[in-house]
């Protein structure tokens, strides 16, 4: 990470989306042991479940956003670079800790 303002663990913005088909698995993910219960298939494509506007694997708490499957995270997540154009766009659209996406009532972050 080269941009000190793009600290992923204190951000998590790119792990939020109101689009339930935001995160599709690629052929490179076939060997990754992602929990079957966190995935769904539609139209011949497999997606990671997004509940309430965030990835089902995102763990929020103590001011941190942690990926619960970091070692096995999908290829699309690996390709998403901190400080990139897409990163800045996600931070602007979703807010830090997804504050612009999620329902803040009762959230632990
Ligand atoms: S939006 Fe950027 S800084 Fe935030 S978690 Fe994603 S890659 Fe990291
Ligand atoms: S798998 Fe991990 S890195 Fe990818 S969107 Fe979900 S929480 Fe974020």
Q: Is the CB of 55 under 6 A from ligand 1?
A: no
DSSP codes joined into one string, 2-24: --TT--GGGT-GGGB-S-TTS-B
Whether the predicted pLDDT of 72 surpasses 60: yes
Residue 99 or 6, more confident: 99
Tokens 């139209």 belong to 43
As a whole number of angstroms, the distance between CA 55 and CA 107 comes to 15
pLDDT of residue 108: 52
Residue nearest to atom 8 of ligand 1 (CA): 8
Q: Is the CB of 73 under 6 A from ligand 2?
A: yes
Q: Rounded to the nearest whole angstrom, what is the distance from the C-alpha of residue 16 to the centroid of ligand 2?
A: 9
**Shortest-distance atom of ligand 2 to CA 55:** 6
All residues at 6 or more sequence positions from 50 whose CB lies less than 8 Å from its CB, including other chains: 17, 18, 19, 20, 22, 23, 56
Contact (CB, 8 A) for 66 and 9: yes
Q: Give me the mean pLDDT over the 90-96 stretch.
A: 95
């Amino acid at each position: 990470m080269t941009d000190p303002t793009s600290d992923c663990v204190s951000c998590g913005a790119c792990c939020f989306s109101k689009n339930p088909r935001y995160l599709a698995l690629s052929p490179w993910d076939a060997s990754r042991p992602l929990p079957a219960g966190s995935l769904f298939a539609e139209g011949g494509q497999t997606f990671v479940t997004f509940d309430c506007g965030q990835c089902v694997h995102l763990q929020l708490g103590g001011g941190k956003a942690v990926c619960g499957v970091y070692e096995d995270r999908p290829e699309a997540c690996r390709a998403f670079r901190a400080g990139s154009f897409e990163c800045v766009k996600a931070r602007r659209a979703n807010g830090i800790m997804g504050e612009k996406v999620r329902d803040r009532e009762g959230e632990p972050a």
